[in-house]
Chain A
Amino acid sequence: EPEVTQTPSHQVTQMGQEVILRCVPISNHLYFYWYRQILGQKVEFLVSFYNNEISEKSEIFDDQFSVERPDGSNFTLKIRSTKLEDSAMYFCATETGGNTEAFFGQGTRLTVV
């Protein structure tokens, strides 16, 4: 069964460093999303991406965050200067569009120390 692949599974970084989280969508999927889940908290929408541009973003997705699809396959989330409160599980989700299910990747656990 096709799946959304996220790398790395766990990333530890020092406060102030830049991190890039990677997602490989299912091949025919056109809509891409990033969500995050702080430990013990709810899953929160960050950003949606379609046709090489951001469709929607939440108030969490400030200037420290950016997304891109650099090579037509990977979908990346960059955090420019990490803060302790960025520690969370980050999930990528992708879908074809048109009333179909969005598939979540297994997540990247980001720990900022």
Chain B
Amino acid sequence: QKEVEQNSGPLSVPEGAIASLNCTYSDRGSQSFFWYRQYSGKSPELIMSIYSNGDKEDGRFTAQLNKASQYVSLLIRDSQPSDSATYLCAVNKIPPGGAGSYQLTFGKGTKLSVIP
């Protein structure tokens, strides 16, 4: 059974702080990793994808991947109230660009609340 585990939260951080979101996955064959943001009642929006061990930065967001530990994280710097949402970690056994690249296994998500 392929599992993606996330702390459901809520994670509360003050405005301007760093929010740290974590995810572990069980399938060692996983090759593609994604972070989505989902506002209540809305569809998931892709924030970042990461495929190689290490860090990947995009604006205020940094994704970190450690395949040996089967661990993915997302850091949000200078958190804003508009970042308040549920953050979904998703993984895929298909390599990036392969057919069905978005056949994803999602975690339940971590609810982030940024306090003004």
* Chain A residues with a Cβ under 8 A of chain B: 31, 33, 35, 41-45, 48, 50, 55-56, 91, 93, 95, 97-99, 101-102, 104-107
Chain A residues whose C-beta falls within 8 Å of the C-beta of B44 in the assembled complex: 43, 91, 104
Chain A residues whose C-beta falls within 8 Å of the C-beta of B97 in the assembled complex: 97-99
Interface range, B side: 20 to 34
How many contacting A-B pairs (Cβ < 8 A)? 57
Check A99–B103 contact: CB distance below 8 A: no
* Given contacts A101-B46, A104-B45, A106-B42, A31 and B100 within 8 Å (CB-CB): yes
Check A50–B43 contact: CB distance below 8 A: no
Check B107–A97 contact: CB distance below 8 A: no
Check A97–B99 contact: CB distance below 8 A: yes
Determine if B35 is an interface residue (Cβ-Cβ < 8 Å).
Answer: no
A101 to B42, CA, bound (A): 18
* Given contacts A41-B108, A42-B108, A42-B109, A33 and B46 within 8 Å (CB-CB): no
A-B contact pairs, 10 of them (CB 8 A): A31-B101, A33-B102, A42-B109, A43-B104, A55-B100, A55-B103, A56-B100, A99-B96, A104-B44, A106-B42
